[in-house]
Copies of this chain bind each other. A is one copy, B any other.
Amino acid sequence: MRNLALLTDFYQLTMMNGYLKHNIHEDIVVFDYFFRKNPCDSSYTIIAGIEQVIDYVENLKFTEEDLDYLRGLGFDESFLSALKNFKFSGTIYGVPEGSIMFPNEPVLRIKAPSFEAQLIETALLNILNFQSLIATKASRIIEAAEGDPVFEFGLRRAQGPDAGIYGARAAVIGGCSSTSNVLAGKMFDIPVVGTQAHSWIQSFDSELEAFEAYAATYPDNCLLLVDTYNTLNSGVPNAIKVFHQLRKRGFEPKGIRIDSGDIAYLSKEARKILDAAGFQNVSIVASSDLDEETIYSLKIQKSAINGWGVGTNLITSSNCPALGGVYKLSAIEKKDKIIPKIKISENPEKITNPGYKKVIRIYDSYNNAQADLIMLEEEVIDTNKPLTIFHPIYTWKKKTFNRYSVREMLIPIYQEGNLVYPRKTVSEIRSYAKKELDSLWPEYKRFNRPHLYKVDLSEKLWNLKNQMVSEYKERDAF
- Which residues in A have some Cβ–Cβ distance to B below 8 Å? 2, 4, 6-15, 17-19, 21-22, 24, 27, 29, 31, 66, 69-70, 73, 114, 118, 121-123, 125-127, 129-131, 133, 153, 155-167, 180-183, 185-186, 192-200, 202-203, 213-214, 216-218, 228-230, 233-234, 260-261, 312, 316-318, 321-324, 328-329, 332, 341, 343-347, 350, 472, 476-478
Q: Are A347 and B203 closer than 8 Å at their CB atoms?
A: no
Q: Are B182 and A10 closer than 8 Å at their CB atoms?
A: yes
Q: Give the contacting residue for A7; candidates B182, B216, B341; CB below 8 A.
A: B182
Closest B residue to A8 by beta carbon equals B182
Q: How many copies does the complex hold?
A: 2
**Shortest Cβ distance from A34 into chain B, in angstroms?**
13
Contacts of A163 in B (CB 8 A): 130, 159-160, 162-163
Contacts of A260 in B (CB 8 A): 345-347, 350
Complex-state Cα separation, A346 to B265, whole angstroms: 14
Q: Are B7 and A155 closer than 8 Å at their CB atoms?
A: yes
Q: Give the contacting residue for A217; candidates B18, B164, B197; CB below 8 A.
A: B18
Known: A126-B164, A157-B324, A162-B163. A69 touches B186 (CB 8 A): yes
Contacts of A195 in B (CB 8 A): 11, 14
**Shortest Cβ distance from A262 into chain B, in angstroms?**
9
Complex-state Cα separation, A62 to B198, whole angstroms: 25
A–B pairs, 21, beta carbons within 8 Å: A2-B2, A9-B153, A9-B180, A9-B194, A10-B181, A15-B196, A29-B203, A118-B199, A122-B156, A125-B156, A130-B163, A133-B159, A157-B324, A159-B163, A159-B321, A161-B162, A229-B344, A233-B477, A260-B346, A261-B347, A312-B324
Q: Give the contacting residue for A182; candidates B13, B17, B126; CB below 8 A.
A: B13
Q: Which of A29, A165, A199 has the most CB of B within 10 A?
A: A199
Nearest 5 Cβ contacts at the A-B interface: A11-B194, A10-B194, A160-B162, A162-B162, A125-B156
Contacts of A153 in B (CB 8 A): 9
